[in-house]
Amino acid sequence: MSARGWLVVIALGVLAGSLAFNWAVRPDFSRPNYAVFTEMASSVAYESQSSTAPVPVGTALAAPFAIPRELPPLHYDASEQSARRAGTELHNPFGAGDGAALARGQKVFATFCQVCHGAGGLGDGPVVRRGVPPPPSLLATNARSLPDGRIFHVITYGQGNMASYASQVDRDDRWRAVRFIRSLQAAQAPDAQPQQAARPARAAQPPEAAR
Ligand code: HEC
């Protein structure tokens, strides 16, 4: 037989072999698949609002939305008045001596805040050097005078040019970031307060030149 003939024979053999294999391992559609996590495949179904529900009726199922336990809603909005109220009503659950909270706060600050506020809080982060309006120094008198609850409010609802970081930074981490800002402020002698970081004199340059 010619080489071409052998090729045809081999090709038909491969085809027949794969068809036979498919037939051998064919799925049986009359039976359910093998379930690895049975809880997900066949969870217990309860009638919502029924008394057999695994949560007490009158709490989670009766509320308009399911609210995670121990995370009560914040009754504030983005207004100045609300920010003042947060300053008097909300208190940092992490004390000044909480080293773990401080370390975590530093990490949160480095991840979410430093890009604008700068590593030392002076308002000289990298995006400011690229032309974004600089935030006020967190070491200035104004930021020092803001109560913890008000800084929490700034992070939660934003302020002026600063957007809300509520969706990126959870509540505890916001308080830890506040702790870190307090430690930055404490490390700087009050009489040596730097004023707001000078805005870089690059207004006349096209953005490319500042790279
Ligand atoms: C995109 C840049 C940007 C990022 C990121 C950012 N901020 Fe700001 N922040 C600003 C600007 C701009 C202001 C000034 C807002 C205003 O009043 O117009 C500000 C204001 C503040 C103030 C109030 C200061 C004052 O004296 O009024 C605090 C406190 C603050 N930011 C904390 C944070 C923290 C904490 C984070 C991280 C979770 C953060 N910011 C992330 C830009 C930023």
CATH number at residue 124: 1.10.760
Does a structural domain hold residue 198?
Answer: yes
Contacts (Cβ under 8 Å, ≥6 apart) of 60:
66, 67
Q: How far is the CA of 21 from the centre of ligand 1 (A)?
A: 64
In a domain? residue 64: no
Nearest residue (CA) to ligand 1, atom 41: 113
Q: In this structure, are residues 181 and 121 in contact, taking their beta carbons and an 8 Å threshold?
A: yes
Check whether 208 has a pLDDT greater than 80.
Answer: no
32 lines ligand 1 (CB under 6 A): no
Q: Check: CB of residue 164 under 8 Å from CB of residue 157.
A: yes
Assess if residue 44 is contained within a domain. no
Which whole number is the average pLDDT over 125-135?
Answer: 93
What range does the domain containing 95 cover? 80-210
Cα angle, residue 78 at apex, residues 76 and 81 outer, rounded to 5°: 75
> Which atom belonging to ligand 1 lies closest to the Cα atom of 169?
38
Per-position DSSP letters for 88-101, written without gaps between them: HH---SS-TT-HHH
Q: What is the pLDDT of residues 181-191, one digit of tens each?
A: 999 999 986 65
- The reported pTM is 0.67
In a domain? residue 89: yes
> Does residue 142 line the site of ligand 1, with CB under 6 A?
yes
**Count: domains in the chain:** 1
Q: Which residues contact 188 (CB under 8 A, 6 or more apart)?
A: 139, 194
Task: Answer whether residue 173 is part of any domain.
Answer: yes
Q: Is residue 152 part of a domain?
A: yes
Tell whether 68 is covered by a domain: no
